[in-house]
């Protein structure tokens, strides 16, 4: 038997602000976190990290000006560590706001890049695991999201070039991203026969297809292809599955890197409450349009002042 439709009024808060400090969210008030942060060492996010942390901006400038290869390498390491320290502030806040037994799902990809003359892997997924374990999260088995295959790379140049069939200098293509899964403490506890939990059940087919390590989900864009590409939006299917797997109807779901509002949109559809943080105010019209047309109650505000109060919100 699949999830039963249930009449429930849910609330959806969009906060235009920095999720490294989630002052608006009370301790132990969130049941599930689903997010996809900016990926460290992926070029499209360089400026975001430089804006978030002056130390990254400075280290980058010094790296570019530095003549000595060894010292440049030091800056590469420093920048990578600082990017993850910034993300870890959000993971720390997430730990604070999650209930006991609450789950955090983090979609992240590793990065390959030539820096300081060396083509290499920056294994973002393992850095996130290290940080989350240090914070106190329990690491659970993760999912490999198999992306539609991109072109194989040779020396980071996007193609195999002339020697594409000659060993040994080609690299494996990064065609999977990670969906890391963490829990705060032990499993969540429910009263026997909890009505909302039972109404949230998944089918056998859903269970067999979802609780497996490799997901083959197309990265299809939904409503705003250009913006969704710019912020690397995930397809609705990702938060849809995770919400059905790790939350029950009426729960509160948080996305601290909301982007275009995909998580909120799915939460509305699945009768979960939601909170989303997004630092880039220019995304607000897309978020409003995406979630507004679904007749949600929204509270949109910056860290400084209320921007918008949806109908019915006190």
Interface ranges with ligand SAM (CB under 6 A): 18-20, 36-38, 48, 52, 231-234, 257, 259-260, 262, 277-280, 283
Residue number with the smallest Cβ distance to ligand SAM: 259
Q: Based on CB atoms, which residue is closest to ligand SAM, 249 or 266?
A: 266
Q: Based on CB atoms, which residue is closest to ligand SAM, 18 or 73?
A: 18
Q: Based on CB atoms, which residue is closest to ligand SAM, 21 or 157?
A: 21
Shortest Cβ 312–ligand SAM spacing (Å):
26
Q: Give the HSE-up count for residue 285: Cα atoms under 13 Å, Cβ half-sphere.
A: 3
Shortest Cβ 172–ligand SAM spacing (Å):
23
Q: Based on CB atoms, which residue is closest to ligand SAM, 98 or 105?
A: 105
Is the Cα torsion angle 297, 236, 143, 90 positive or negative in sign? negative
Q: Based on CB atoms, which residue is closest to ligand SAM, 188 or 299?
A: 299
Shortest Cβ 151–ligand SAM spacing (Å):
22
Shortest Cβ 221–ligand SAM spacing (Å):
10
Shortest Cβ 200–ligand SAM spacing (Å):
23
Q: Based on CB atoms, which residue is closest to ligand SAM, 79 or 232?
A: 232
Shortest Cβ 137–ligand SAM spacing (Å):
19
């Amino acid at each position: 038997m699949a999830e039963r439709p249930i009449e429930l009024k849910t609330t959806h808060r969009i906060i235009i602000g920095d999720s490294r400090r989630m002052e608006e969210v009370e301790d132990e008030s969130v049941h599930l976190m689903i997010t996809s942060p900016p990926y460290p060492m992926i070029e499209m996010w360089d400026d975001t990290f430089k804006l978030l942390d002056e130390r990254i901006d400075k280290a980058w400038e010094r790296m570019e000006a530095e003549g000595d290869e060894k010292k440049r390498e030091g800056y590469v390491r420093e920048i990578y560590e600082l990017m993850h320290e910034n993300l870890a502030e959000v993971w720390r806040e997430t730990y604070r706001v999650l209930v006991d037994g609450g789950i955090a799902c983090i979609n992240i990809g590793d990065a390959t890049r030539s820096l300081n003359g060396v083509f290499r892997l920056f294994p973002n997924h393992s850095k996130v695991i290290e940080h989350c374990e240090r914070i106190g999260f329990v690491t659970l088995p993760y999912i490999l999201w198999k992306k539609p295959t991109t072109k194989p790379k040779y020396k980071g140049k996007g193609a195999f070039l002339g020697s594409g069939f000659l060993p040994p200098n080609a690299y494996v293509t990064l065609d999977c991203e990670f969906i890391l899964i963490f829990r705060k403490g032990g499993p969540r506890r429910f009263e026997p026969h909890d009505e909302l939990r039972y109404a949230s059940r998944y089918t056998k087919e859903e269970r067999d297809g979802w609780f497996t390590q490799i997901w083959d989900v197309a990265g299809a864009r939904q409503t705003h292809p250009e913006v969704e590409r710019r912020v690397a939006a995930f397809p609705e299917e990702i938060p849809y599955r995770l919400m059905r797997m790790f939350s029950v109807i009426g729960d509160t779901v948080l996305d601290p890197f909301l982007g275009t509002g995909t998580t909120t949109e799915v939460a509305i559809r699945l009768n979960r409450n939601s909170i989303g943080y997004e630092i880039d105010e220019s995304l607000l019209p897309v978020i409003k349009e995406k979630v507004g047309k679904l007749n949600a109650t929204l509270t949109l505000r910056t860290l400084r002042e209320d921007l918008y109060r949806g109908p019915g919100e006190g």
